[in-house]
Chains A and B, each alone.
Chain A
Amino acid sequence: MVTKTKGQAPPSEAEFQQAIAQRASRWYSACLRITRNPQLAEDALQDALLNAWTKRHQFQHGARLETWIHSIAVNSALSLLRKQKPGVFSALDDEVEDPAPSAEQAHHHEALNAELDSALRNLTEVERVCFVLRHLEEWTLTEIAIAVDKNANAVKQAVFRAVRKLRERMPTLARTPS
Chain B
Amino acid sequence: MNHPTPANEETLVLYYYKDGLSAAELRAIERELERNPELAERYRRLALELDGLAEPADVPMPEGLEYRLQSTIARAARLEQQDQPKATGWLHRWSFLAGATVTAALALGVGIGIWVAGGPGHAPVETVPVVAQPSPQWSPAAFERGLETYFRTSRSELAGLEGGEGSDRASLANAMLQQNRLFAQLARQNGAPELARVLRSFEPILAQLGRDDLSDEDVAALRAQLEFELSVMLTKIARGSSQDTKPNTQEI
Chain A positions near chain B (C-beta within 8 angstroms): 13, 16-17, 20-21, 24-26, 28-29, 32-33, 38-39, 42-43, 45-47, 49-51, 53-54, 108, 111-113, 116-117, 134-136, 140-141, 152, 156, 159-160, 163-164, 166-167, 170, 172-174, 176, 178
Which residue of B has the minimal Cβ distance to A136? B55
Give the docked Cα–Cα distance between A17 and B243 (Å). Answer: 39
Question: Which of A21, A26, A135 sits near B50, CB closer than 8 Å?
Answer: A135
Question: Which of B14, B19, B57, B200 sits near A113, CB closer than 8 Å?
Answer: B57
Give the docked Cα–Cα distance between A159 and B57 (Å). Answer: 22
Give the docked Cα–Cα distance between A39 and B62 (Å). Answer: 10
Pick out which of these stretches binds chain A: B30-38, B63-71, B103-111: B63-71
**Which residues on the A side are within 8 Å of B23 (C-beta)?**
none
**Which residues on the A side are within 8 Å of B52 (C-beta)?**
170, 172-173, 176
**Which residues on the A side are within 8 Å of B17 (C-beta)?**
134-135, 141
Assess whether B171 is interfacial by the CB under 8 Å rule. no
A178-B48 contact in complex given A108-B59, A113-B57, A141-B20, C-beta closer than 8 Å: yes
Assess whether B165 is interfacial by the CB under 8 Å rule. no
The digit string for B203-215, where 1 denotes a CB below 8 A from any CB of A, is: 1100110010000
Q: What are 11 of the A-B contact pairs (CB < 8 Å)?
A: A20-B70, A24-B66, A25-B60, A45-B69, A112-B57, A113-B56, A116-B56, A135-B17, A136-B55, A141-B20, A159-B13
Which residue of B has the minimal Cβ distance to A156? B20
In whole Å, how far is A52's beta carbon from the nearest beta carbon of chain B?
9
In whole Å, how far is B29's beta carbon from the nearest beta carbon of chain A?
15
**Which residues on the B side are within 8 Å of A178 (C-beta)?**
44, 48
Give the docked Cα–Cα distance between A167 and B49 (Å). Answer: 7
The answer on a CB contact under 8 Å between A20 and B57 is no
Please provide the 3 A-B residue pairs with the shortest distance between their CB atoms, ordered closest to farther.
A113-B56, A173-B49, A13-B77
Assess whether B185 is interfacial by the CB under 8 Å rule. yes
In whole Å, how far is B95's beta carbon from the nearest beta carbon of chain A?
21
Question: Which of A53, A113, A134, A135 sits near B73, CB closer than 8 Å?
Answer: A53
